[in-house]
Structures are given as C-alpha cells and as structure tokens.
Structure 1
Amino acid sequence: MKDTKNKTKIEIATWKRREHYAFFKNFEQPFWGVTTAVDCTEAYHYCKEKNLSFFAFYLHKSLLAANTIKEFRYRIEGDDVFEYGEISGSVTVLREDETFGFANFAYHSNFESFSAGIEISLSQEKKSQGLTPDFELISLIHYSVLPLVNFTGFQHAQKLGTKHSIPQIVFGKFHLSEGRVKLPVSVHVHHALCDGIHVGKFIQLFEAALAMQNMETYHGFGSSVV
C-alpha cells in the first residue's frame, strides 16, 4: 500500500498554527497523549446481534473519526507540512509464536468493504515472519491493541530525534462498568500539528460513532462520514 491519496501543502507562513508549529516541531519528544475509556455498549451489542467482528467495527469507527478531523491528517515531510485528503491504518497483529507484525489496511467509509479488506490483511500478516515496517508510508494511523489489559495509562517506545508525525492509537481490553461496555483507548499526537481540542473532538466523534449516532451533525464536528 503506497501513499497515493491526494495531499495539499500547507502554506506555513500564513498558517494559523505557524507559531505553534515552530515552537513544537524540533522538540526531542514532541508527542503528547491521553488515555480514557469510551462507551461502546451500543456498538458491542450491534456486532453481537449481526455477528460482526467487534474489533473490525470499532477500528473502522475510529478511522472514520480520525478522517473527519483534518489535524489527524496533517503530516510533516521534511521542512513541509501536508494535509492528506484521506488516511488509512496500520495495526499490530499477534502471531501464534507470540511475535507480532504490522498489517496495513485501506480506508473505506463503507464497513463491509473495510471489513473484507482488513480480514485479508490480518490473515496475511499472521502467516508472516520478522518485522518489516514501511517507514515511507505515512498517510495512516498507527494502531496497537492490548486485548488482555484494561489499561488506564500508556507509554510508547520512542526513538528520540526521529521526524515522524503519525498519530498513535492503542486499544485495550473492553470490559463492563456499571452495566456499560467500556473500551480503553490511548491517543498520542505530534504537538506541532495537533492540540487538546483536536484529540477531544476525536474522542467525542469516536464515541458518537460507537453509539450509532450520526456523526455529521454531532456537535458540528465533521461533514464527511456515515
């Protein structure tokens, strides 16, 4: 999978974030993040009723939410910043020998198309060996899953000094809390591109999608999904 989606160069000199970008872009560790638990009760029961993969469903809804927020589609490339018109994803895949690999999957607003594609990607990666990440591919979200851990905090391994700006989202073990199904989620973003308001919008949109709400009118955020 290659970066073939349309992208637009940001004119940094006239960008409203120019000072924020200049301030954060050269930090040795410019990523910041939050951890929370989203309510996924309606989505969980819907998947059980329809015999759908709950994992594929919430992954799809998170990517729909991320595509709605332009700040999640910003990427730093050299000295420039681009806004991608569309982003896809990559997710960690556990193999039988307890190693893991990365499976890339394409974005589709339609869940059936998305589910079919990710099923193929996951199956292929489970049969592979070694670790061969594609560092040239940046029009995506980096996803990880810890299905055995109901975490309340998360810290990524980091190589200081690298220039990547890809958002990182991690899901934990879903669980019951006061009769509701909750899903731990950690979101880390590059502060030169993305602030608290943008992560807050993502969480709200993601939770609205899991509640089977219409995201187009949810708090006025977004106009291009479901």
Structure 2
Amino acid sequence: MSKASFMEVKAEGDVIRRNQLTRLRQLGDAGIVAEIGQVDYRFDPEQDYVVVDIETTGSWSNGDRITEIGAVKVRNHQVVDEWHSLLNPQRSIPAKIVQLTGITNEMVRDAPLFAEVADSFMQFMADGIFVAHNVSFDYGFLSYEFERIGRRFRFPKLGTCAGMRRRYPGHKSYGLGKLCEIYGISLDNHHRALCDARASAQLLNLINQKRSEERYIGEAA
C-alpha cells in the first residue's frame, strides 16, 4: 500500500502563510509526508500573461472592495489586448484613498458592480497566468470578490516585485514607482489601475527577457 503524501506548490511571487505551515506540521505529525514544492515557470513565448492592477477602498481584502481593475494581456513580450473597468464598491471611498488614486465616489456611483463584470474579466483571463506587482494583494482581492458571488478564481500567478528582486537584485526599493524610475518606464498616472498594469507589464518583459536568456544558456551548456 502506497504512503500518502502532500505537497504545497508555490510559484514565484507566492507567500507561505502561517496557516499553511501549521497545516504542513499537522500532516507531518499524522505521519503524512508534507513538503513545499517551488515551481519556476519557464518562459514560453506563446503563453498569455495577464498583468492586473486593482484599486480598492482600503487594504483588507475581506472587508474593503475593488474600485477599479486594469488588465493587460502580454504574449511574446507584446501587449495584445487590454481590459479596464471602474467598479461600484457599494461603500464610501475614504478621503485618503481618493487623494491617493484620484478615484472619487462620484466616479464609481454609476459604475457596474463586480458581479456585472465578472464574466467579462474571466473571459479576458482565459488560460493566462495571473501577474501583478504585489501579486498576493491583487489576487487576494479578486479571489474574495469571486467568492462573494459563489465562484472560484484559480490561476497560476507570478509577482513582478518578487521577480525583479530575484533577477535584478541590488535596488533599495522594489516599489512600482521606484522601479519605473530606474528602468525608464512611463508611469504618468500612478495608482490608476490600467496605468499601473501597463507599467507592470513592462517589468514582466524585463523578467521574461532574463528567463529567456537563462533558458538559452541552459540549452547551450
């Protein structure tokens, strides 16, 4: 009889949470082999990467809501499509968030609810890899929004902040604004979703360029 085992798979940009470590320990105590596996995506030029940025009413995904989603689809280093929508968060946007993003309560009052754009966004995601600068933040909010309408949101994900740290080390800050400044990437409307998604897409291209070089060196060795 084969022995049961369990593996928690983590991709680049994923965070190992405390409850996941607790679960792995519990499985180990029960005599089940439990470990963490790291996945390193190889660059596939035909793979779609959907680079997403969201704006929200605050930082808590289980209490705050999304006010804007911007998404850019990248294939073979080229932007092939874009998706954008303001959303009615069904709650007031705090003044400090209005100041940060420029998104006002008036702007979202007549915007669609998340449930009304969910199908369109899922169609845009298709079979893409979900990419965001701080991927746990954006992915977590979208997962909660889909959970609220009784749907699952499950995609492989990649973080450009973690990817830049790994492949372009040595910078004091890996915030989106600072990286755009360093690498000459346009960020004229920072903290608006589509602008930030476009900038993150350019960081993704820098990361994928390095991954392509690594693959070429590996194949030539």
**Common fold: TM-score over 0.5:** no
Of structures 1 and 2, the larger Rg is shown by 2
TM-score (ref. length: structure 1): 0.31
Structure having greater relative contact order (Cα 8 Å, sep ≥ 6): 1
TM-score (ref. length: structure 2): 0.32
